[in-house]
Chains A and B, each alone.
Chain A
């Protein structure tokens, strides 16, 4: 395992919060404010990790288990992804399923810890989270499987590594576009960004993720924020991995370019959040079904062309 791999794998864990910073900056720029500094998320994390904690007396150890498990699962699933286009140390045939499985584990952990509080708000959040999760899972499978079918590679690293420029010239290119688009929407849903949910509101109305973590405080909340930023990063790097066409001689330059790409995704999210309004809760499932349709199209194309 070369140093490059180590560096880039590690970079994900270090740079993930920065992605939020980028997004917020973008939004601020659109709003004409100058907004919080780019590294604001790091401040937040630091502050939270430094705080004490308040626990509701209805809760049990399940509540305290949620954040660490969620963070751990998300982190490992990030390790499964190739970083900077380099095969990940955890890569193996079928790691797609481990990747998805770990994400599901993280979701499960956070959801039950939310339900442990017995608050109707967090129950509601949990209910919505699992609802969207249940629909997001097959969409994710579809878009990933279209990649697998095109590249005949059973591991994420393999699949992404073999998506190179020549493929883009062939007529299977739409498959990548579709997969990328689906993943982008999935990213918005999974990280409950606009147009699915507004991370800044604290009104009961529309919250999915935010409302689940109302009762978490101190380090626990820090864990949660960090793991959600990791999740964001993870989707972004996946999308970049698909769209990034070049293959460089030196791994370093390639990796750096990819990181830049990820930051661009962050900007894109910011743009979306500034120019779009939040859709009504009942329409989110349609959004996800839209993802599935894209996935199905991708798979169909892939089959048709093979």
Chain B
């Protein structure tokens, strides 16, 4: 059961990587959050406490409902165009995603779980999801999709907390969830502001603050119009 859910998380992450619709990806991430909550419940089915119930409900509420709602609101306000235009095409990012999963499994080989509380898949899955999140962050232009990447990362990380059984006191877990929520909230506001300043939320436009020298700027501009690497070295 746990394994199935874990696999589902990874697959969901990959789907986000593959999807080319903003709204769609938001929903996918929401589903992933919900899956995470269920995982939380299932993995500790042995002793169900009030804390656990609260935690699970809170997770579903925040990740499955509140955060998506926030994001939808901000993209509606910001009139984001529906398609995602990533730096790397979906197919290629899927390939990278698979590679990331490979890396995750390799790494987890070096990290044997301290005890058999959770499934052996937990470590690789959480790492894989983490990497997927990173891929989203790096390859997506729009601010919203970067937030999604951040969320996927967080999901991966929280997935690992299953491995600990209930070692983190509830207070802390609450705090963590709250932090994540507020973070997304603030990001949402910022996205809204960005959309007001620049009439789109293409985070790629946010590159005015830099320390490049004049000719380096020129080279970067030419880089966008495509030049060979050799020339770049010449320029830098």
Tell me if chains A and B make direct contact, with any CB pair below 8 A. no
Question: Which B residues have a C-beta under 8 Å from some C-beta of A?
Answer: none
Query: Which residues of A are interface residues toward B (Cβ below 8 A)?
Result: none
